[in-house]
Amino acid sequence: MYAVYSLCLANLRKKKVHNGLIGLLILLSTLLLATSVTVILNTNNLFTDMHNKTHGSHEMLILGDELHDPYKLLEWWSEQEGVTSSELIPFRTISGITVQGKESSTGLSSLYLYMMDTPERPYAVDDLIFADGNESIHPEKGTIWLPTSIAYLYDISVGDTLGFTAGEKDFALKVSAVVVDMPYGAPFPTSVRIWMNHQDYEEQIHVMQGKDQYMMGLRFDNYSQSSSYWEQFEQDMGTPYLESKVSFEEMAAFYLIMNKVIGFIMIFLGIVMMLVALFTIGFTISDDVLSNYKTIGVIKALGLPSKKLMGVYLAQYALISMVAIIPGLITSQWISRVIVDSALSSLKTGVMEAKSDVNLVAFVLGILVFILVILCVLFYSNKARLVQPMQAIRYGMSESDNSAMTKRFAVKENQRISFGRAPLLVVIGLRNILKNRKSSILMTMLTIIMSAVLVLGFVLLNSISSIKQTSPLWGYDDSDIVLQINNQSIFSRAEFDQAILSDPRIKNFGWMGGINGVVSADGTLNAEHSDAQSMNFSITVIDGSYDEMGYTILRGKNPQSKNEIAIGIKVAKQLNKDLGDVVVVYLEGYKHTLTITGIYQSIANMSYSARIVADVVKMNNPDYSNLDTALINIEDNRDSDQIVNELNEEYKVSASAVSQQTLLEAVYKQAVASLILPMSIMGLLFTGVTIIIVYSISRINIRKESKTYGIYKSIGLTSTKIRLSVTLGIVAVSAIGAVIGVFVGVYFLPLILGSILADYGISDLPLILNWLGIIGFACVTIISAGLGSWASSRVVSTTSPQILVIE
């Protein structure tokens, strides 16, 4: 046992730098894997815990079209066992917020606001959790409660005064508390609930034209049984539920999407990094056995058994692993907390602490990494057991390897093709690569991975930052300017249309609105879904041309007449419908039989949506005018800002205009912010790993070739040229890996990522390929490998030729 201890200690002392680099590699592998798992579990746990803490709803009913009696619905649901319903909460809708004393924000001005007539707390369903401000049963007069989703995003705090426009008048209210509002508190907010004092609501909102609408939340003891309740509802009421409904999946989607994407990428890359680490350990052990073949033979001849020789490597790498894994696990908890906090800031009410079961999972993962390292060491150190003392002492290798080497030398002597005419630096560099094939393969694999990671991160960030270029592929329009009507009572659509048509800068425009659609379960679904509940989904209504507004279709075409409809991919899947099929849809209580002309993808409603033209609704409601958004295309994009300013000045009381570019950036800037940190961490980790492994492998190769390099220096070749030739060989290998990595990062990894986004209604991930940036990040890979190789070859210049030859 003392012999094992002595040899292990000798290996640790002799190769301090190399062992330290292997330990760092194991640490980084553990860090990435543990971080990814913790991010996913922490995200799910945080959302689930907060949803349970607030008695969050599983379905939110929005009653405003007078297709059902709200009080009858409340009575019916109150009578159902296994379901908890909230009370009816009155609300009206307006658009836009301004923060007094601060510069106007485009994101705030374009928000869709539900102004709630706040009942007294606590609520049976969707109770509010106070993140800042004094907790009370309702807002005091002159104050509001603001959700965390916009308070954190736009840096609004307790005490700030917010301005609103209702009808023809403006009013201001002070923020008295910031609250977590689960149904409308997800990242990337486009609509939020503003909780008002009852008296303020009566004075400022209730006086607006129109009638109150109502929200009612439903929480099921067993959410999987919700479909049976809706079937019973249809039987008792004689009609399916015809108004708007938000499902639990829709509420949860944008809480979880970013961290799911980040976690999935990190898990995939963490597994790859772990495989690289294991391969590196295996390569190191194999090289050590071959380099010390004669020494191992002598030790075995002196009586040390093979098992104890293997124990030397086991003890060495077990100690390195334990020293590396523990800091990796500790650091992963901190990094994962930062990532989760960034992506789920709207659920933050204080210090976010990781759950104990999450820490346990990370601990188990650390044990798994340790076991994998031990198994890898056992597998490769088995080569030491096969060493035959006599062959080792005589040949310095096995007899079969010696015979094979002799044959190769004989073959080389007879080869007509050689490097005789090639430049000396090229010959030395290629010789180093070809002679050390395993290390060359490892470096190629590593540079492929690093290049793919850097390119994927750049492509994702660039695609989201430049989302205007691909907005139709995300399910949005491609118009240049969006005008939102804030006050229907004083806005004249006829005058606006006339003014727009007479402006030569305007290319075309159309009016857009939204309506709720319902597909009844009576015979419209396939046999597999024959017992499914009625399906509610959002329908876009256009008075104009979908094609002119830039809406795209995956298959088929956009609807153009009153008997046509285009549906999202999730609707098509659930209804088992395809192009040319007929679907029966209820719109405002009226039954319509429509032909499917197109199928598209959209992230906004997870593709649970459809598109129709306004003529469909006007068949039963000729006066339909719920088209409150104008989509405007202009001839010259350089006129965009000027036209927006003119429209805001002309219609400042009744409408607000903003460029589509600004609107999309306001919505998705949070996505970019959430991606920057984790993608930067992964990029830096892989860059560091690349430099570390290239440095380590090059040191091993240089040590094996020290006598050769000593001879080169003795005959007059300078250290700089030797180092340059070695580096050029590594750069050539890394360049091949970088090119392959570019294609992996651009084409293969997005396919894997697309499997996550498919659950969110995106089947074809829209990417913007900036090849200049892609090539630039690929070059970072080559530079990193070159730096690692150049640094490792420093030993050639600092050592005399005589010592090199002696070694």
Q: How far apart are CA 10 and CA 346, in angstroms?
A: 54
Q: How far apart are CA 660 and CA 663, in angstroms?
A: 5
Cβ-contact 291, 382 below 8 angstroms: no
- By DSSP bridging, strand 213-220 and strand 143-147 are unpaired
| Bridge partners (DSSP) listed for residue 60 | 217, 246
Task: Count Cβ atoms below 10 Å from residue 227 Cβ, excluding itself.
Answer: 14
Note the helical H segments in 15-105.
Answer: 16-53, 70-78
pLDDT at site 93: 84
Tell me the average pLDDT across 532-543.
81
**Is 804 a residue whose pLDDT tops 80?**
no
**Is 382 a residue whose pLDDT tops 70?**
yes
Q: Which of 94-103, 170-179, 724-733, 759-768 has the lowest mean pLDDT?
A: 94-103
Tell me the average pLDDT across 627-637.
88
Cβ-contact 37, 337 below 8 angstroms: no
Q: How far apart are CA 633 and CA 548, in angstroms?
A: 8
**Is 404 a residue whose pLDDT tops 50?**
no
Q: How far apart are CA 145 and CA 158, in angstroms?
A: 9
Distances 401 to 398, 431, 648, 672 between C-alpha atoms, Å: 5, 19, 82, 55
Q: What is the pLDDT of residues 98-119, one digit of tens each?
A: 888 777 676 787 788 899 999 9
Angle at 385 between CA 379 and CA 390, to 5 degrees: 150
Closest by CA position to 129, among listed 40, 45, 220, 52: 52
Q: How far apart are CA 373 and CA 321, in angstroms?
A: 7
233: Cβ–Cβ under 8 A, 6 or more apart, which residues?
76, 240, 241
pLDDT band of residue 84 (cuts 50, 70, 90) is very high
**Is 394 a residue whose pLDDT tops 90?**
no
**pTM listed for this prediction:** 0.77
- By DSSP bridging, strand 161-166 and strand 98-99 are antiparallel
Cis ω before 305 (30° cut-off from 0): no
Angle at 217 between CA 212 and CA 220, to 5 degrees: 160
pLDDT at site 300: 60
Closest by CA position to 311, among listed 257, 204, 384, 397: 384
Q: Which of 107-116, 282-291, 684-693 has the lowest mean pLDDT?
A: 282-291
Question: What sign does the dihedral 407-408-413-416 (CA atoms) show?
Answer: positive
pLDDT band of residue 350 (cuts 50, 70, 90) is low
Closest by CA position to 601, among listed 554, 543, 652: 554
**Is 746 a residue whose pLDDT tops 50?**
yes
pLDDT at site 145: 94
Q: What is the pLDDT of residues 689-725, one digit of tens each?
A: 788 888 877 877 777 777 777 777 777 777 788 888 8
Residue bearing the bigger pLDDT, 350 or 764: 764
Angle at 792 between CA 787 and CA 796, to 5 degrees: 125
Query: DSSP letter at 126?
Result: S
Closest by CA position to 343, among listed 770, 670, 732: 670
SS (H, E, C) 248-267: HHHHHHHHHHHHHHHHHHHH
- By DSSP bridging, strand 590-600 and strand 535-543 are unpaired
Distances 250 to 51, 72, 416 between C-alpha atoms, Å: 14, 26, 70
pLDDT at site 523: 44
Q: How far apart are CA 114 and CA 190, in angstroms?
A: 11
Fill in the amino acid letter for 5: Y
Q: CB-hemisphere CA count at 13 Å for 664?
A: 23
Tell me the average pLDDT across 428-454.
80
Note the helical H segments in 177-225.
Answer: 198-200
> Which residue shows structure tokens 């000729």?
622
Question: What sign does the dihedral 285-291-293-298 (CA atoms) show?
Answer: negative
**Is 418 a residue whose pLDDT tops 60?**
no
Q: How far apart are CA 765 and CA 257, in angstroms?
A: 14
**Is 176 a residue whose pLDDT tops 90?**
yes
Cβ-contact 296, 384 below 8 angstroms: yes
pLDDT at site 397: 47
Cβ-contact 517, 586 below 8 angstroms: yes
pLDDT at site 8: 67
pLDDT at site 332: 84
The length of the chain in residues reads 807
pLDDT at site 416: 44
Q: How far apart are CA 194 and CA 108, in angstroms?
A: 13
367: Cβ–Cβ under 8 A, 6 or more apart, which residues?
none
Q: How far apart are CA 664 and CA 641, in angstroms?
A: 15
pLDDT band of residue 419 (cuts 50, 70, 90) is low
pLDDT band of residue 425 (cuts 50, 70, 90) is low
Tell me the average pLDDT across 524-529.
40
